[in-house]
Structure 1
């Protein structure tokens, strides 16, 4: 699945969430709501990374780690789409900029502390 297909799937899921919220007398999520949900998902992801690193125990194992990574990706895809960000282009551009900066730092003479 490429990023366009993943975004379309994320939007279909978002539409279902909106329908469920409406049926329960709640509002559709705004970009801010998605961002706040993302923060919670990142916390859940960190907990599962701790489990994977054998720092703590928590139910779920590998399946829970995969789930939390997918939840975080859903939020990123939705936020990019909601705010008109071409995520593939932004990612490529950001990675190129970071690579250029890192290469320049590595090439520069190192100063003694």
Structure 2
């Protein structure tokens, strides 16, 4: 099967934070190539800002997984503030695919009275 680098980040929905898959990056060359790409992305991947505007801490939590804290400084309310975003970066092998079936056309008169 194929190797991917998966990127997850926290998103806020209704006041609650949850992890969401935001990027799937296919990698040619097998597991070792995917590991190299994931390590590179743990040091360079940025969402919502320019790379040169961000600081980061990179933690390798397993041979195939990193947690990244991406920080950015900005001015607000007359003072400097810092925001943080967290990312999971993981190497994964695609094991199974089932394509999404096409949506069924609504029956005539269905939900239309």
Specify which structure has the higher proportion of helix: 1
Larger strand fraction of residues = 2
TM-score bracket, shorter-length normalisation = under 0.3
